[in-house]
Structures are given as structure tokens and as C-alpha cells.
Structure 1
Amino acid sequence: MGGSRRAYPTTEELRIWRDFIETAQALRTELAARLQKDSALSPGDYGTLLALSEADGRRLRPSALARTLGWERSRLSHQLGRMERRGLVRREECATDSRGAEVVLTDEGARAFRAAALPHLIAIRELFVAPLTPEQITAVGDALAALREGTGTRWDR
């Protein structure tokens, strides 16, 4: 180990880490509660609908959808089953590969996503954007980019 970096975090660094974890959890919890109240969608529903709404032809292979969401295939399978029963998505044979399937956003799913999007974006603005200055927003973005780089995580956004 080079330089004067300690092998473990300082008390102040641990306090900031804990603040980060607790704040992120509080934001996720409040956003999930508002999403459920405003649209009857879970965060999993919303993320799935968002990914499909942005996909070419409103359809994705399950493996691509799982990668996009950062989920295991078994979690996605359970999520899709719940969403299929509510008419938000359907599974179809893949047009280009008869061995595979695709997850397709239904018209009902598209309507549910559109109805949920505005209240969800307003909640994000209220809970995450409004409390911060533009400089703080930029600093948070920079910090998150550094953390992603440190973990080797990359998102195509």
C-alpha cells in the first residue's frame, strides 16, 4: 500500500459513509411510498416499465432487461410474472430467434408508466434536487462518477 493512506476509514469518513447509506435508504423509501401511493406501482414495476419504454420497439430480451436493471434473472422472472398478471407486460417469442423470448411493454403498461412518470419526477425534484444548490448537484454527480469508476460500474446513459 503506497502513500500515507490508512488501511481503514477515519471516524469522520465512517460518519459520512453512514450518512450516505442512511440518506440513500430514506430517499428510496420515501420515493417508493410516493410511487405506490400516486400510481400503485412498485419501484421494480417502474424500473421495468422505464427500461421497456426506452427500448427499441418497447421490447427486450430478458437477459438484456436483467442487465439493464442490475438484477438476477430469478428476481426478474418473479417481477415479470407479477406484472404480466396485471397486464403491464407480456412475454412473446423472439421474432429474430425462435429459441428465445422477449418482454414486451403492453399499451396498459405504457399508460401506467406515463401516469406514474410526472408524479415520480416531481417527487425526485422535491426530495433530491430542491434541497441542493446547483453546485451541490454537480458535486454529487462528480462524487457518484468517482464511486462508479472505483467499482468498475458503467451505465449507458
Structure 2
Amino acid sequence: MSSWNEQVDALWGQADQISDAELLAQMRALASERPNDPLALAELGGAHDSTGHPVEAANLYQRAVEAGLSDPKLSQVVIQHASTLRNLGRHDESIAMLRDHYDAQPDHELAGAASVFVALALATSAREREAVVELLRTVEPTLPRYNRSIRAYADALEAGEI
């Protein structure tokens, strides 16, 4: 018999081939095997998120964190939860959550993805200039050339000079 984690991975692997209702039913069944387990709550939150139930997803993500979810799943759930909050119109909470988690660890493998979600939250809250600055500052270190120029453009955009 496969482990619980393997069963969850297998379910996510077939998520595009089954109905949303079936994905939720199967994830609920798996989560019921581990009541109040932070990882089970996080996976169930993800299932609600991917099937268009953001309020339930946000609540489950919050419960997972409160139950002691740890890395590496915690860092993924921070992004997923923040994205869900953005979808619910809670832009400032989304931005704060991502910055609180990832500003403390700028070299985290998901820090770039977190910046993209910050930019999305900024853009959907009518703060497009800040969103562009966020993306420029995220992309700049990865570029082989033009770094100085891109930093200067980001600074000028941030200062309202362009």
C-alpha cells in the first residue's frame, strides 16, 4: 500500500483528468485519515482552491498554519493562501503575508514566485506602478546584462520620475 503522501501526489497527478467534485471527494477522504494534521489541512485547502472554493481554501490554509505547518509545505501554502486572499479582494493581506514570509528569506527558492504574486496583488489593487517595480527588482538579478539600467528604471518608477 502506498503512503499517504504518495496517495496525495497521485491524486494531484490525475487532477486534470477527474471532475472537481471527484478531486474534492477524494482529497476529503484522504484528509479525513489525518484529522487536524497541518499537511492534510493544507492539501485539502489546495483542493478547494483549485476547484473554485476560495473562502474554504483560505480557511483551511489558515488552519494548516495554525496547526504548525512547516517548510517546505509552509512556503508553498503562504503563496497559495496569499493568492487566494488576492482573489477574494484582500490585496493588502496578500501582500503583507508574502512579504512577511519571504522578505526574511530572500534567497528562498520560491522568493521569485512570491514576488510575482506580490506584483499581481499590487496590480489588482490598482497599484500597477508598484507592480512593475516589484517585477523589475525580481527579474534584474537574473539577467546577464542591463542590470544597472533596470535598477535605475525601477528606482525612477518608484520615485515617480517616469
Give the strand-richer structure, 1 or 2: 1
Identify whether the pair has TM-score above 0.5, normalized to the shorter chain: no
Larger radius of gyration: 1
Give the helix-richer structure, 1 or 2: 2
Q: Shorter-chain-normalised TM-score: which range?
A: under 0.3
